[in-house]
Amino acid sequence: FVPTFHANLRFFLVDNENWYFGGGFDLTPFYPFREDVVHWHQTARAACQPFGEELYPKMKAWCDDYFYLPHRQETRGVGGLFFDDWTEGGFQNSLALVQSIGDHILPAYLPILEKRRALPFTEDQKAFQLYRRGRYAEFNLAIDRGTRYGLQSGRRIESVLASMPPQAIWKYNWQPEAGS
């Protein structure tokens, strides 16, 4: 019942005058618990709070839009924060934002990990986890710009593929049992 999470923060320096930040964090539970999702988003909001009330809804919407599988018409998970080509407020403000987001990643995730890691699960629940991991892999391979760039560049292929789940399954036209 421990969800997958993804986090990355990046800085690109083109030259002394051209730079930008990007990154974020998102949560992909296979079996979502409402209290975990609330905690995740409250922590994400807290990371953005020092930079204005409008920032969290903006980055949350950006995350929801980015981590979407259009061919499935579903999201990869329950969202979080996402931003790219970020220069708003100048360098120092952007750097402070990235530091704040980085400071909130573990407080967002570790309490969920601690609560869920010892929960017993059935074979059917494990099969569903592997099925959902397939969706995670689909997103990474078909949609994620960073993964696609890494594969197309021909460099460090193993590093790119290391983000894939260690096991995943796909089932043709499968529907989960109601209430499962």
Predicted confidence (pLDDT) at residue 176 exceeds the cutoff of 90: no
Confidence of residue 16 (pLDDT cuts 50, 70, 90): confident
Query: What one-letter code names the amino acid at 125?
Result: Q
Q: Which residues are catalytic?
A: 6
Confidence of residue 35 (pLDDT cuts 50, 70, 90): very high
Predicted confidence (pLDDT) at residue 107 exceeds the cutoff of 90: yes
Of 92, 147, 37, 136, residue with least CA distance to 100: 92
Contacts of 156 (CB under 8 A, 6+ apart): 150
Q: Average pLDDT, stretch 105-121?
A: 98
Decide: helix, strand or coil at residue 22: strand
* HSE toward the beta carbon, residue 149, CA cutoff 13 A: 3
Decide: helix, strand or coil at residue 75: strand
Predicted confidence (pLDDT) at residue 116 exceeds the cutoff of 80: yes
Tell me the whole-structure pTM to 2 decimals: 0.91
Contacts of 124 (CB under 8 A, 6+ apart): 177, 180
Contacts of 37 (CB under 8 A, 6+ apart): 27, 29, 78
Predicted confidence (pLDDT) at residue 179 exceeds the cutoff of 80: no
Of 60, 71, 53, residue with least CA distance to 27: 60
- At the top level of CATH, the class of 4-119 is alpha beta
* Boundaries of every domain in the chain: 4-119, 122-180
DSSP for residue 32: -
